Amino acid sequence: MSEPTATIQPGWTGRCFEDFEIGDVYQHQLGRTITETDNIWFTNLTLNTNQLHFNNHYSEGGIYKKALVNSTFTVALVTGMSVSDLTQNAMANLAWDQIRLPNPVFVGDTLYAESLVTDKRESSSRPTSGIVSVKTRGLNQNAIVVCTFTRTFLVAKRGHTPDRFPQTDAAW
């Protein structure tokens, strides 16, 4: 039996500037359940010493009667969930604005995220890129909004993304 001919099939490489349209909504496909380890590690990594994030006994005296997930972890996680749809081809994040945390997040919550494209324009200083603004929100498993923010990023135009995979002449 002969070897089959190998054909490289391109995978998802993200959106370029031309792919964004104002009014488009992207429901980011990966949800994520937050563990106690996530919360404690992130809290320690960022040197956040507020005991509401890592001391259950102390947290029992707080308004929620249990430990809160570090809010900067919530923002980082919601941002990360949006990358495959929004910023896989970003050259730089330019701004995060209007960050709001309207409801608490606890260990065991599962977060989801979606983003609305609110603006786009050509970059005046970088002709191979454009600037896109989105409003992103994170929701928990009960569809309660736990995080919102606007983000603006510089994203490559089609044909101007960096090479993704080293090319080889080696046959399979």
Q: Output the domain CATH number for residue 76.
A: 3.10.129.10
Q: How many domains does the chain have?
A: 1
Q: Please list the ranges in the chain whose pLDDT falls under 50.
A: none
Domain-embedded: residue 4: no
Residue 31: what pLDDT? 97
Residue 39: what pLDDT? 95
Residue 18: what pLDDT? 97
Can you give the residue range of the structural domain that contains 130? 17-156
CA quadruple 20, 22, 27, 30: dihedral sign: positive
CA quadruple 123, 125, 127, 129: dihedral sign: negative
Q: What is the pTM of this model?
A: 0.90
Domain-embedded: residue 113: yes
- State the CB neighbour count (10 A cutoff) for residue 107: 18
Please list, in sequence order, all residues whose beta carbon lies within 8 angstroms of the beta carbon of residue 75, skipping any fewer than 6 positions away: 96, 99, 101, 147, 149
11, two tokens: 């995978």
